[in-house]
Amino acid sequence: MSPALLGVEEEGQSNVSLAASSTSIDCISRNGCGLKERNYLGLSDCSSVDSSAVPSLSEENKNNLNLKATELRLGLPGSQSPEREADVSLLSTGKLDEKPLFPMLPLKDGICSSLQKHVISGNKRGFSDTMDGFSEVKGSLYSEKNWLFHSAGTESDSPQSVGQGTFPGSSGMNAMQLSRPSGAQSHMMKEVPQKVLQDRCHGANGTNLNQAGTSNNSSNAPAAKAQVVGWPPIKSFRKNTLASSSKNNDEVDGKPSSGALFVKVSMDGAPYLRKVDLRTYSTYQELSCALEKMFSCFTIGQCGSHGVPGKEKLSESKLRDLLNGSEYVLTYEDKDRDWMLVGDVPWEMFIDTCKRLKIMKSSDAIGLAPRVMEKFKIKA
Amino acid sequence: MLRMARSLPEEVLEHVFSFIHSDKDRNAISMVCKSWYEIERWCRRRIFVGNCYAVNPSMVIRRFPEVRSVELKGKPHFADFNLVPDGWGGYVYPWIAAMANAYPWLEEISLKRMVVTDETLELIAKSFKNFKVLVLSSCEGFSTDGLAAIAANCRNLRQLDLRESEVDDPSGHWLSHFPDSFTSLVSLNISCLGSEVNFSALEHLVGRCPNLRTLRLNRAVPLDRLANILRRAPQLVELGAGTYSAELRPDVFSSIAGAFSGCKELKSLSGFWDVVPGYLPAIYPICSSLTSLNLSYATIQSPDLVKLVSQCQSLQRLWVLDYIEDIGLEALAAFCKDLQELRVFPSEPFALEPNVSLTEQGLVSVSEGCLKLHSVLYFCRQMTNDALVTIARNCPKMTRFRLCIIEPRTPDYITLQPLDDGFGAIVEHCKDLRRLSLSGLLTDRVFEYIGTHAKKLEMLSVAFAGDSDLGLHHVLYGCENLRKLEIRDCPFGDKALLANAAKLETMRSLWMSSCSVSFGACKLLGQKMPRLNIEVIDERGPPDSRPESCPVEKLYIYRTLAGPRFDMPGFVWTMDEDSALRFS
């Protein structure tokens, strides 16, 4: 996962650790993100538009159809602690190039098109934190995001294994959709060579997917249950009630988190709210990936217009305009109804206290943690 | 005959029609002749619109000018399980705005899965002077501010039912907006509200409404408040308790027990979050008259559940968690001979291993002991064809059968065969089956059975099933009364859909997600079938940015007289005649 870094010193560290990390060198190096400061909903498509320092790696990114570098990002306060980088790197889409995770699918996972659903279908994202388990994982991939995460130590070492190994019983379609670089929007997709798209689509031929999925499913001994979206079919109200009941009953540790934890996510200027299930993520990165994708269409003005035929393509200059001064941060409302910057506390604590999320303009978020904000300002 | 029809004065006909209430009958009446159509449309008082996009408000208003009660449904059923992205639609405001002008005497509004805003609620509160009933089922988008407007302005309000809606930032003070002079409340359901309501306002409200029959409290109402409330409303017929948990104390216990025994009319209980079993005996005195018991939030274990249900001899409906286990269901079968509806929900749906001993045997027992059983929703982890065959034979009067085996594609655990034969037996024996949900390992064969036998089936839910388009074809071709079909994660593609395109106009809607229907097929359908809205829901971006053969993420097809809608978010595209142009 791209270690979004804050200060120079951290960059240095990340560089070191990145270089040192032996696994998925590709993704790591591609992860020029590591070198960049990424805070905001930059727009995919042009790294040049991204006001952060543009590393030479961004081209590499593009070459590898890795859209991370130029994608929408939500800036999150905090940095990746160095020790996490190795872990995090496995989220890189470099993985995608290495091999298709689903042998039945001829195409690279998730390349280019933002297939990733805003809600996880199939595997929990948590697996990605452990490199080792990666090859066994038949599930979603996360591209590393260039998030600035304030990781207070081990945010999500726990549930990684959750979802590992279990092919989502759901269709390979979902699986495909899961594995993708985050943040790519439709807009981005156009950049991608047609061929890749076709590959993906051919793979998406439904008929053998499910069966393949089934065989995969049965051949894996899942470490923990992969959560498929909307399955089993239980209403959110009931799921949330169950979840809080089980907390009250002092469940034994080590059980996979039961129930979903849906929180609303709003964004300044977006015409409607979204909801995310916090339990399907185990790190801040995963959450940001998903949110970025979910809200990307707002930022570039693709979505939101009602039924306007022929979606406009955003020109580069328009993107630039949007970007300049449109820096966003992710904040949350906690149990005490205070608004805090996301990323300050360990992940487990975060999901315990988070009641709702909001993507705010960084200018509005100034009061939240001024020092942190300063740190993460994108270099013009 | 014709002359007789014309010679009857309109008033007489209207009087006769006033005894006809069902929509189906009313629709039939209106097709007899033009004058009956005219008379009927002027005296129709209730409207039900199963899909708010099938027709637009002005059409409804134009045809039925004197409506008093409106029921609307918005999002597709799978929205309950988060398969429909937020922002999809289902906004009710345009309807309310139109009706505010056209139906000043509107009394009842019932909405399901719609987006309701505070603005909408304020408009309702202001526009309908005789407003009586507001039911918001699984709705969202509003806050307690909107509720405050309703409370403050609807002087004749009888029913306020928020079942399972998502209410924003609830604060309890809205309840105080009911003026002191307000006494007409008959039914109040606030069980979905997250935060506390003002208890004294609640007690005062309950106390001054002598006709209150239904009161469903939310979790934030603690047990020690319950007794006070019950004492003010001994006439209650339906009660939803709040949290049923407190430190075990004899004084609290006797207070609660006394309050319950004062409620001689209680027939239905629900709520019961966080139950402390020691307080359960407080309700034993009223158990024998209970007809409906919803313990689906109650974390009570099997022994306590057995003690409870064995006293509920009049029980007709039971909703419970799988803590009841097979043993509890056996007790149910033994004591509750009037049982008609059973729903068993999973206590730990995401756990890998079963945490309770609830198997197919429990359902079999109930089917053997409860001869009136006709409605089942059952979550379990294992099933056999034999069990299903037995259930089918025991309950030929089954009308709703929904089985959810938690792990997708689970076969018969003894024979390791698909469950085709089991479900086949269900549709073959249960000739009145109207609703069916499938699960487990299923091949195309089960769909062949369904298409052959399930002639009264109106709603079918399918997940992780089938092998090929043939499966879908069997259903579309054979199920004559099919109205709603929802499918997810099945290998169904273009062929069956295109071959049965005409069928889609006879149905309310079709939902297909994570299947293999190509964008090209959607376009084709859109061009050929102008009276269908073909909605492609795809969060990956515009479908034309991918090849035509590429499957769409989600597809929602519904018949409509209103044409494409204009409130779609950016991730929804309607295929219509112009789509060829637009997407070229």
Strands B532-537 and B572-575: antiparallel
Describe the crossing of helices B302-309 and B325-335 by its angle, rounded to 10 degrees: 10
Contacts of A374 (CB under 8 A, 6+ apart): none
Q: Does A81 touch chain B (CB under 8 A)?
A: no
The domain total for chain A is 1
pLDDT band at A296 (very low <50, low <70, confident <90, very high): low
Highest mean pLDDT among A7-21, A167-181, A303-317, B166-180: B166-180
ipTM: 0.90
The secondary structure of A304-326 as a DSSP string is: -SSS-SSPPPPPHHHHHHHHTT-
Please give the pLDDT value at position A246: 61
pLDDT digits (tens, 9 = 90+) for B65-94: 999 999 999 999 999 999 999 999 999 999
- 8 Å CB contact between A3 and A32: no
- Is residue A194 over pLDDT 90? no
Please give the pLDDT value at position A11: 40
Please give the pLDDT value at position A362: 76
What percent of chain A shows pLDDT beyond 90? 1
Please give the pLDDT value at position A330: 84
Average pLDDT, chain B: 94
- 8 Å CB contact between A305 and A294: no
Per the structure block, which two tokens stand in for A117? 């659903």
**CB contacts < 8 A (A, B):** 206
Rounded Cα–Cα distance for residues B189 and B195 (Å)? 14
Rounded Cα–Cα distance for residues A38 and A51 (Å)? 9
Rounded Cα–Cα distance for residues B51 and B31 (Å)? 22
CB pair distance less than 8 Å for A249 and B408: no
Average pLDDT over residues B418-442: 97
- 8 Å CB contact between B532 and A266: no
- Is residue A193 over pLDDT 70? no
Structural domain includes residue A322: yes
CB pair distance less than 8 Å for B541 and A306: no
Give the range among A270-274, B506-510, B551-555 with minimum mean pLDDT.
A270-274
- Is residue A202 over pLDDT 80? no
pLDDT digits (tens, 9 = 90+) for B109-125: 999 999 999 999 999 99
Highest mean pLDDT among A333-342, A356-365, B386-395: B386-395
- 8 Å CB contact between A166 and A123: yes
- Is residue A7 over pLDDT 90? no
pLDDT digits (tens, 9 = 90+) for A217-242: 334 344 445 568 889 999 988 888 87
- 8 Å CB contact between B332 and B318: yes
Give the range among A99-108, A339-348, B319-328 with minimum mean pLDDT.
A99-108
Structural domain includes residue A178: no
Please give the pLDDT value at position B430: 97
Please give the pLDDT value at position B287: 96
Distance from the Cα of B302 to chain A's closest Cα (Å) equals 16
Average pLDDT over residues A296-321: 42
Average pLDDT over residues A147-152: 37
Which residues in chain A have Cβ-Cβ distances shorter than 8 Å to B348?
A: 242, 246, 258
Q: What DSSP state is assigned to residue B528?
A: H
Structural domain includes residue A120: no
What is the value of pTM for the model shown? Answer: 0.72
Structural domain includes residue A292: yes
CB pair distance less than 8 Å for B86 and A272: yes
Distance from the Cα of A343 to chain B's closest Cα (Å) equals 24
Q: Does A307 touch chain B (CB under 8 A)?
A: yes
Query: What is the extent of the structural domain holding A286?
Result: 262-298+316-361
pLDDT digits (tens, 9 = 90+) for B1-56: 555 555 788 899 999 999 999 999 999 999 999 999 999 999 999 999 999 999 99
**Test mutation, B75, B78, B82, chain A, max A CBs within 10 A:** B82
What CATH code is carried by the domain that includes residue A321? Answer: 3.10.20.90
Q: Does A266 touch chain B (CB under 8 A)?
A: no
Q: Is B9 helix (H, G, I), strand (E, B) or coil?
A: coil
- Which has more pLDDT, A145 or A248? A248
Instruction: List the 108-147 stretch of A: residues with Cβ below 8 A of B.
Output: 113-115, 117-119, 121
CB pair distance less than 8 Å for A232 and B404: yes
Average pLDDT over residues A56-76: 43
Average pLDDT over residues B540-563: 93
Please give the pLDDT value at position A354: 87
- Which has more pLDDT, B339 or A316? B339
Distance from the Cα of A318 to chain B's closest Cα (Å) equals 18
**Cis amide prior to B396 (ω within 30 degrees):** no
Average pLDDT over residues A170-193: 38
Torsion sign over Cα B403, B405, B411, B415: negative
- Is residue A54 over pLDDT 60? no
Structural domain includes residue A348: yes
Structural domain includes residue A334: yes
Please give the pLDDT value at position A342: 84
Instruction: List the 174-233 stretch of A: residues with Cβ below 8 A of B.
Output: 174, 177, 185-187, 189-190, 194, 197-198, 200-202, 204-211, 214, 217, 222, 224-225, 227-233
- 8 Å CB contact between B428 and B449: yes
pLDDT digits (tens, 9 = 90+) for A70-113: 444 444 444 444 444 443 333 333 333 333 333 333 334 333 33
pLDDT digits (tens, 9 = 90+) for B127-168: 999 999 999 999 999 999 999 999 999 999 999 999 999 998
Structural domain includes residue A137: no
Average pLDDT over residues A328-339: 82
Structural domain includes residue A345: yes
Which of B437, B463, B542 lies at the smallest CB-CB distance from A231? B463
